[in-house]
Amino acid sequence: MAKDPGRVLIFDTTLRDGEQSPGASLNLEEKLAIAQQLARLGVDVIEAGFPFASQGDFAAVQRIAQQVGGGEGPIICGLARASRADIKACADAVAPASRRRIHTFIATSDIHLEHKLRKSRAEVLSVVPEMVAYARSFVDDVEFSCEDAARSDPEFLYQVIEAAIAAGAGTINIPDTVGYTTPSEFGALIAGIDSHVQNIDDAILSVHGHNDLGLAVANFLEAVKSGARQFECTINGIGERAGNAALEELVMALYVRRRYFNPFFGRDADSPTPLTAIRTEEITKTSRLVSNLTGMVVQPNKAIVGANAFAHESGIHQDGVLKNRLTYEIVDARTVGLTDNRLSLGKLSGRSAVRARLEELGYDLTREDLDEAFARFKDLADRKRDITDRDLEAIVSEQVQQPEAHFQLRLVQVSCGSSLRPTATVTLADEDGQDQTAAAVGTGPVDAVCRALNALVGEPNELIEFSVKSVTEGIDAMGEVTIRLRRDGQLFSGHSADTDVVVAAAQAFVNALNRLVAGCGRQPLHPQRDVALADLRPGI
């Protein structure tokens, strides 16, 4: 495999590292919906999960490999620790894909060796080639990561990388696992690997980094100047702690500043050839889908995909933009797929028109799902005069993200006011279809609804987040509600949208409760924190 593919490969880990964001757990259908959109976006590799972690993760990776990994679609990758059990599970999960990869890793920093692995450098150095070779016995495409590489001794790092490449690793990933390094340091680390590892020309150098100091994107852009040719990133930058390097920021930095970066790829500065294979017009749509399904709200001032990214408040700025957009905008909003399209649809519109618009937005629904989406569309059209693409996206994304339906909301009714005690009556259907009703008083209508729902379900939980935002402008706008519940240290999120925010809150709470019930008792492994296989030995 050539070291330099002539561009930057985009390795998306939204479904693996991104899902490790507290409360962002996704079910199988949600993962599949995101994977299909990532394929439309044009990512080179989808890291679909950590198959050994749980049966759910294994099933999701396998399903994505079957439905998204065909033909010339993206490479489907699974994560595996440097153990035979992990690697075998990963191989089985990605097997249906026509282009598949096993991504295996082990820590290389002294602090991880001493406190997590309890291994010497020599022991780790003996594990690496055997596990990489074992992975190569299943697939031709193996990626190896040196966990916490940014805090590892460079000389030891060189030895580990050389051994991994010699054993068959075609991609070497250098992670800044804890978001510790700075751009100049990270660039120097990549340059050192490029010049000191004897067989580095047989592999592609990849980078992975967390945003604990807000430097992940800057670190990656410095690394690419020193020879890194794969970026491991997530949509909206979600992930562990402060998140990962954001795909949209990296891609658009290379797009807007192509003239600056071209020489580092051996090109003429004015070369028009893109530096990635990403279809930038799919960025906004992908961002919204991931935000809706994970319940991770995008901050308004987020670069590229934030609500304010292309807004101008200052009079001086507005005047300049009206005269020439280039005065204050370096990115055309249409380049990232941001449009003001409005549906010329109403309550007299037919299914075919709604289906056609959904397909334009990238949603491929089954007949049953289309029936449900159309029914919700008609209901919304009775209450809202102008329906936008964002409204339609809110309808469909909520439908896609429905968790296992242990409970279904049948009715919610509230009474409140300045001289009334907020009271809510709710009716839920259980798994057997039996309706149960409860009423409760709260400090406000939403609090009363949540109390009534808790009384019906009887599952202990703590509400730790309630957020509501408008999908579009106007008094008749749909309100999107995100709720997070905590139980036994685990977070469960729910999301819903409706023109009535109390109804949206009730449905979001039910969605979160369904996730809580479905996930009760599950303690999936975590690839970085779990120590069940800390005593890794060759042959495990």
Structural domain includes residue 525: no
Structural domain includes residue 319: no
Total of domains in the chain: 3
Structural domain includes residue 97: yes
And the tokens for 222?
């410095």
Mean pLDDT of 7-12: 98
Structural domain includes residue 378: yes
Range of the domain at 111: 9-294
Nearest to 15 by CA among 35, 36, 40, 29: 35
Banded pLDDT at 375 (limits 50, 70, 90): confident
Residue 374 and residue 441 in one domain? no
Which pLDDT belongs to residue 537? 38
pTM, whole model, 2 decimals?
0.85
Residue 412 and residue 392 in one domain? no
Residue 176 and residue 264 in one domain? yes
Write the DSSP string, 329-357: -SS-GGGGT----B----TT--HHHHHHH
Residue 448 and residue 388 in one domain? no
Structural domain includes residue 17: yes
**What average pLDDT does the chain have?**
88
Mean pLDDT of 215-226: 98
And the tokens for 245?
């390097």
Give the model confidence (pLDDT) of 38-71 as tens digits: 999 999 999 999 999 989 899 999 999 999 998 8
Give the model confidence (pLDDT) of 12-27 as tens digits: 999 999 988 876 778 8
Give the model confidence (pLDDT) of 252-277 as tens digits: 999 999 999 999 999 999 999 999 99
Which pLDDT belongs to residue 1? 44
CA dist 386 and 61 (Å) reads 39
Structural domain includes residue 169: yes
Give the model confidence (pLDDT) of 388-445 as tens digits: 777 887 777 666 555 567 899 999 999 999 888 999 999 999 888 899 999 999 999 9
Give the model confidence (pLDDT) of 291-332 as tens digits: 888 878 898 899 999 988 877 555 554 455 456 666 667 888
CA dist 248 and 255 (Å) reads 10
Residue 376 and residue 472 in one domain? no
Q: Please count the other Cβ atoms lying within 10 Å of the Cβ belonging to residue 349.
A: 17
CATH code, domain carrying 439: 3.30.160.270
Residue 24 and residue 113 in one domain? yes
Residue 393 and residue 428 in one domain? no
Write the DSSP string, 394-406: HHHHHHHT----S
CA dist 95 and 92 (Å) reads 5
Residue 459 and residue 391 in one domain? no
Structural domain includes residue 3: no
CA dist 133 and 538 (Å) reads 11
